[in-house]
Amino acid sequence: MGERMLELQDVRAGYGEQEVLKGVSFFAGRGEFAALIGSNGAGKSTLLRCICGLLPLREGSIRICGRDTGRLSAKERARLVAVVPQSYAVEYAFTVEDVVSMGRYPYHSFGRRETPEDARAVRQAMEATNTLEFRGRLYNELSGGEKQRVILARALAQQPEILLLDEPTSALDLHHQTEVMELITRLNREQNLTVLAVLHDVNMASRYCGRMILLGEGRVAADGSPSEIVTKKNMERLYQMKLLIRENPLYDKPEITPVRVLREEQTDHPLRIHVICGADGAVKLLEELEERGYLLSAGVVNEGSDDCVICRALRIPHVEIPPFTPVTPEAQEENLKLMEDAEVILISDLPFGQNNLANLDGLERVKGRIFFHKNALSSDYTGGRLVERLEELGRKKKVVYFGDHDEFLKKLGAGLEDGGSRRREEPCR
Distance CA 149, CA 184 (A): 10
Dump pLDDT digits (tens) for 161-172.
999 999 988 878
Residues in the chain: 429
In CATH, the number for domain 272-413 is 3.40.50
> Which residues are registered as beta bridge partners of 247?
254
* Contact predicate 26/223, CB 8 Å: yes
* Contact predicate 241/260, CB 8 Å: yes
What is residue 189's predicted lDDT score, i.e. its pLDDT?
93
- Nearest to residue 223, comparing CAs of 36, 61, 8? 36
Q: Taking 80 as the threshold, does the pLDDT of residue 111 lie above it?
A: no
* Contact predicate 6/18, CB 8 Å: no
Listed in order, the ranges of the chain carrying CATH 3.40.50.300 are 4-237
Query: Looking at this protein, which amino acid is placed at residue 175?
Result: H
Confidence of residue 420 (pLDDT cuts 50, 70, 90): very low
Dump pLDDT digits (tens) for 302-341.
898 888 988 888 889 999 999 889 999 999 999 999 999 9
Residue 378, CA distances (Å) to 207, 373, 386, 420 in order: 43, 10, 11, 22
* Contact predicate 351/302, CB 8 Å: no
Dump pLDDT digits (tens) for 386-398.
999 999 999 999 8
Distance CA 57, CA 343 (A): 57
* Contact predicate 275/346, CB 8 Å: yes
* SS3 state at 45: helix
What would the mean pLDDT of 2-25 be, rounded to a whole number? 93
State pTM to two decimals.
0.70
Query: Looking at this protein, which amino acid is placed at residue 138?
Result: L
What is the third-level CATH fold of 4-237? Rossmann fold (3.40.50)
For the chain, give the mean pLDDT: 88
Dump pLDDT digits (tens) for 74-93.
999 999 999 998 777 887 88
* Contact predicate 174/142, CB 8 Å: no
